[in-house]
Amino acid sequence: MASKLLLIAVFVLDLIAFGLAVAAEQRRSTAKIVQDSEVNYNYCVYDSDISTGYGVGAFLFLMVSQALIMAASKCFCCGKGLNPSGSRAWAVILFIVCWLFFLIAEICLLAGSVRNAYHTKYRTIFSEQPPSCETVRKGVFGAGAAFIFLNAIVNKFYYICYSSARDKSFQAYGGETGVGMGTYK
């Protein structure tokens, strides 16, 4: 039977990660071009950088959540063999999908956090073209939040299928000790 305590703990961690990713999307840095007081050059002024912290927090909470599920299931590759059944087949499929969603979410969160933390440092002096005030594209943290949500669903189903396949006792010869030892006529 799947551990209810583990599922609740992972749900809470995933919920926090999702909330932080949504908050990071809402609080992305914005920039505006400002002229200096002597009007010699233009430069970019960025507002709050809080979404970088939110993105990193979501990244870490999702990583801990994934680590808990993988540690509890022994990363699917260690431990005793699983009962060959539909639960094992679904566990294999969900294991792969779970890791795929996890990697996509982590890449979105990390890329968004790094890009949000980067601010253009150059200025334009006596130039007609204003500087490029680069910011994170809209939807990067949102995509991370979406994949956190998908990963939260898939990793719970993975753990339940894994636990179901693990708990069914597997006996290679149906429990008979004398297989092949019968009398022949």
In a domain, 177, yes or no: no
In a domain, 155, yes or no: yes
Joined tokens for residue 176: 């008979």
pTM of the predicted model as reported, rounded to 2 decimal places: 0.77
In a domain, 14, yes or no: yes
Residue 68 belongs to domain spanning: 2-167
In a domain, 178, yes or no: no
In a domain, 182, yes or no: no
Per-residue pLDDT of the chain (185 residues; tens, 9 = 90+): 568 899 999 999 999 999 999 998 888 777 777 777 776 677 777 777 788 889 999 999 999 999 999 888 876 677 666 666 677 788 889 989 999 999 999 999 998 888 877 765 555 555 666 666 777 778 889 999 999 999 999 999 998 888 887 776 555 555 555 555 555 55
Amino acid identity for residue 21 in this structure: A
Instruction: Compute and round to an integer the Cα radius of gyration of the chain.
Output: 26
In a domain, 111, yes or no: yes
Please tell me the total count of domains within the chain.
1
Cα distances (angstroms) measured from residue 50 to each of 23, 27, 138: 9, 7, 15
Distance CA 9, CA 101 (A): 19
In a domain, 183, yes or no: no
Q: Do you know the residue count of the chain?
A: 185
In a domain, 51, yes or no: yes
Amino acid identity for residue 3 in this structure: S
Cα diameter, the chain: 110
